[in-house]
Structure 1
């Protein structure tokens, strides 16, 4: 009986750790996408010349 409780607690702890890693990876990926977007906008805006 006690073994199943330990196994269940271990599963819950592993799931919590996995969820935390997934959130961190998702936030890191989103930050990278935003960074690439901003760098692209800055580089493209530098190539725009005003028309006389």
Structure 2
């Protein structure tokens, strides 16, 4: 048994924070997956530095 009951506002805020955290984590995974797909494809080349400029 808890000595201090959690207020309803805190429960809603915690739920919202978990949702935002999951969305942020999903976005990070998406960006990482797109980066890995771009780098591992055969057409990726580092920019060439032209001499004389």
TM-score range, shorter chain: 0.5 to 0.7
Q: Give the TM-score of the pair, scaled to structure 1.
A: 0.68
RMSD, aligned α-carbons: 1.5
Q: What are structure 2's unaligned runs of at least 5 residues? A: 1-5, 45-53
Which of 1 and 2 has higher RCO (CA within 8 Å, sep 6+)?
Answer: 2
TM-score by length of 2: 0.67
For structure 1, the 5+ residue unaligned runs are 44-52
Question: How many residues end up aligned between the 2 structures?
Answer: 39
